[in-house]
Structure 1
Amino acid sequence: MSADWGPVIIAVALFILLSPGLLFQLPARTRVMEFGNMSTSGISILVHAIIYFCILTILIIAIQIHIHF
């Protein structure tokens, strides 16, 4: 019996990629979107959290990604 690592790997990868300011920031301080500015705001954190939740839910519940080692 092996553990299902799919949700863990997907969650960690999305958390890293969707960190506000790392790759992009939506909404940015001066524009709608900025790339690689490494700064953040409260509304940006909220928007990225909603995007993270939606993508994670789609990948894990709807598509049912499973990774067994």
Structure 2
Amino acid sequence: MADWGPVFVGVVLFILLTPGLLVQMPGRNRCIEFGNFHTSGVSILVHTVLYFALMCIFLLAIHVHVYIGS
């Protein structure tokens, strides 16, 4: 049985933390902007750090495991 937990967590966080798709931190005019479909270098850096931190928390601290199959 394969452990699909890291794959599932990675895909969900990638979709949620894509800069400019749902939220952008920092935004162009405000600290946080929602759904503006724009990005910047600083925003990419912030979202990368958040992605890394959340992946570490979910995979190393919480030990998320999802087993699919027989």
TM range (shorter): over 0.9
SS at match of 2:30: coil
Structure 1 gaps, min length 5: none
Amino acid at match of 1:52: Y
The normalised TM-score by structure 2 is 0.95
Q: Distance in 2 between matches of 1:20 and 1:9?
A: 19
1:67 is matched with: 66
Higher strand proportion: 2
SS at match of 1:20: coil
Structure 2 gaps, min length 5: none
The normalised TM-score by structure 1 is 0.96
2:52 is matched with: 53
What is the alpha-carbon root mean square deviation over aligned residues?
0.5
Aligned length: 68
Q: Distance in 1 between matches of 2:25 and 2:11?
A: 20
2:19 is matched with: 20
Q: Distance in 2 between matches of 1:17 and 1:37?
A: 14
CA deviation vs aligned residue, 1:11-30 (integer Å, no higher than 9, x gap): 01100110001111000111
Q: Runs ≥4 in structure 1, deviation > 4 angstroms? A: none
Q: Distance in 1 between matches of 2:66 and 2:33?
A: 34
CA deviation vs aligned residue, 1:23-67 (integer Å, no higher than 9, x gap): 110001111110000000000000000000101100000000000
